[in-house]
Chains A and B, each alone.
Chain A
Amino acid sequence: MSVVEVIPKAAEVPVAEARPVEAPAVRVEHLVKRFGPGPVVLDDLSLDVTPGEFVCIIGASGCGKSTLLSLLAGLEQSNSGTVSVAGGRAALMFQEPALLPWLTAAGNVELALRLRGLGRRERRADALELLRLVRLEGAAAQRPHELSGGMRQRVALARALAQRSSVLLMDEPFAALDAITRDVLHDELVRVWRETGVSVVFVTHNVREAVKLGQRVLLLSSRPGRVIASWPVDIPGDRRIESPPVAALSLEITDRLREEIRRHAA
């Protein structure tokens, strides 16, 4: 990772308008979702994620962020519109690590590999490799309850990567962790993302987290959910969550989010 040299103001950075030549990793077009006869949760939502891109989606509670991820993961069916994910299935990480308690850390990763049809020997080697990637090769034989919250979430990351999907969906995966652990996991995630080249769609309600991690931050409106604003994040080098450029852009995005929430007061 490079050392920060100059930290330009976010506004001064020219926005690179690189049009993707390759097919997008995720393409959502005119997506509509409602649950039964209830209100429309997502309305005419469209978005593209380019291969290898890190996109963060923020929005108020209940704006349909998680629903969007469920639709992308194929856990829910849309009412209309299309969702396509490169390679078919996307990997998904939840707010809870959701490790299966009867399996060891390595066993959890191996289950994902087994369900992809890998043989025993290959599974073992791959699982250890993935645990090494999240720096947990020493915890391979441990059970989830013997690990800390941060370690569990790293095992969950390794398990999600074991799906070898080109798209990784993350639903507030660090929301339940303490601040220091969250910081460490942010760095870990960015490192893993750089090493694997996977596209990430990261949903959070924490604006600073979104700015720290993402190359692009999308704001979802509430009732109905739609992409109403988009910010490219061009902060070179290592971003710390406390650093001024992160704070400055976060402030701008937070103001816009508040405006969106106030709109519902009437």
Chain B
Amino acid sequence: MRPDEVRRGSSALAEREPAGDIALELERGLDALDPPVQQTGSAWRRRVGTVLPPLLAVAVVLAVWQALIWAEIKPRYTFPSPGDVLATLVDQWREGTLLEAIWLSLSRGATGFLLSVAIGTPLGLLVARVKPLRTALAPVLSGLQSLPSVAWVPAGILWFGLSPATIYFVVLLGAVPSIANGTISGIDQVPPLYLRVGRVLGATGLRAARYVIMPAALPGYIGGLKQGWAFAWRSLMAAELITQSPRLGTGLGQLLDTGRQLFDVSLVFAMIISILVVGVAVDRIVFSPLERGVLRRRGLLVE
């Protein structure tokens, strides 16, 4: 191959070479040089990078906690040590109460969340796409999102008694607005250019919704689901904490309230930690990978 300067400098020379080959080579060269470089770090190093810092943070919290115990800032029966709490957790686990409570709460949370998705998604779609509905309902949905769903517990008890219906009522009022709002903002953020492309390609009406708007709104929607889960879980705990009844069984919230009634502060702390761990675990195991997967496939994730 001739040096570039020669080829570009002299048109006479260029004319003697087969033009098609030069164009092809030039194009291949550009294709090889141009594409954005994909970052490829070692998977192991990345995993260490994401796991180590949170573990370190937990260790720091435990150390500070233990230091406060040694400083005896509070009497032991109101402020348990990490060791006391761990012992309670192990006890509860051995007796099977903890696993049972986690399972009951988690299955209620999942049912409530799925119901909320089934209601919140079409609601969000309607409010986003139908002008009068939007004007009427968008402010209500934002308002509901800022209202703590515990506020619904008394009304729920009056209407449904101490039954699972009360618990689901509170969970739905907590999670549905989040999911609907996530759907709305996902649709609002669809770039108009995509809609134009869709129209040029022949996607109008329902076909535009299916092939352009819904896939384009997916990242915002998943963000809404993630937030919806957080709201569902915290509403569920609020409801469980207030509704004590043999008919409702013993979830994490009920176990927490039992601890309060028995002045068993270790149990109270053990349940707070369990609720936290379950909430974070669901987010980490279900929603974060989903969200990261969608963003990565679209090149929207900076690692």
Interface residues of A (CB under 8 A from B): 1, 3-4, 73-75, 89, 91-92, 94, 96, 98, 100-103, 111-112, 114-116, 135-136, 139, 143-151, 159, 163, 180-181, 183-184, 187-188, 191, 238, 240, 242-243
Contact = CB atoms under 8 A, between A and B. Distances in A.
B23 interface: yes
B298 A184 contact: no
Contacts of B72: none
Contacts of A147: 35
A143 B299 contact: yes
B193 A116 contact: no
A100 B212 contact: yes
**Chain B, interface size: which category?**
35 or more
B5 interface: no
B95 interface: no
Interface in B284-303: 294, 297-300
Nearest to A242: B11
A98 B196 contact: yes
Contact of A75 (B200, B216, B297): B200
B260 interface: no
Contacts of A4: 15
Interface in B171-207: 193-194, 196-197, 199-203, 207
Interface stretch (B26-34, B43-51, B55-63, B137-145): B26-34
Residue among A91, A116, A151 with the most chain B CB within 10 A? A151
Which 8 pairs between the two chains have the least Cβ-Cβ distance?
A: A145-B299, A148-B34, A101-B298, A115-B202, A92-B200, A98-B197, A187-B23, A148-B35
Given A98-B197, A102-B298, A116-B202, 12 more contacts: A3-B16, A4-B15, A94-B196, A96-B193, A98-B196, A100-B197, A115-B202, A146-B35, A148-B34, A184-B30, A188-B27, A243-B11
Contacts, number: 101
B216 A102 contact: yes
A100 B194 contact: yes
Nearest to A91: B200
Contacts of A145: 36, 298-299
Given A3-B19, A147-B35, A187-B23, A102 B200 contact: no
Contact of B211 (A75, A96, A111): A111
A96 B193 CA distance: 9
Contact of A100 (B36, B216, B299, B300): B216
A184 B11 contact: no
A136 B200 CA distance: 23
22 contacts: A3-B15, A3-B18, A73-B200, A75-B196, A75-B199, A92-B200, A94-B196, A98-B196, A100-B212, A101-B298, A102-B218, A112-B201, A115-B202, A135-B24, A145-B298, A146-B36, A151-B34, A163-B202, A184-B23, A238-B19, A242-B11, A243-B11
B215 interface: yes
B261 interface: no
Contacts of A149: 34
A150 B19 contact: no
Nearest to A169: B200
B42 interface: no
A100 B34 contact: no
Nearest to A2: B19
A144 B215 CA distance: 15
Given A3-B15, A4-B15, A115-B207, A102 B30 contact: no
B38 interface: yes
A75 B198 CA distance: 11
B216 A184 contact: no
B194 A98 contact: yes
B3 interface: no
B75 interface: no
A144 B11 CA distance: 35
Contacts of B299: 101, 143-146
Contacts of A159: 201
A73 B201 CA distance: 10
Given A238-B19, A240-B11, A150 B202 contact: no
B96 interface: no
Interface in B104-146: none
A150 B33 CA distance: 11
B20 interface: yes
Contact of B298 (A73, A94, A143): A143
Contacts of A151: 31, 34-35
A111 B201 contact: yes
Contacts of B27: 135, 184, 188
A1 B297 contact: no
Contacts of A111: 201, 211
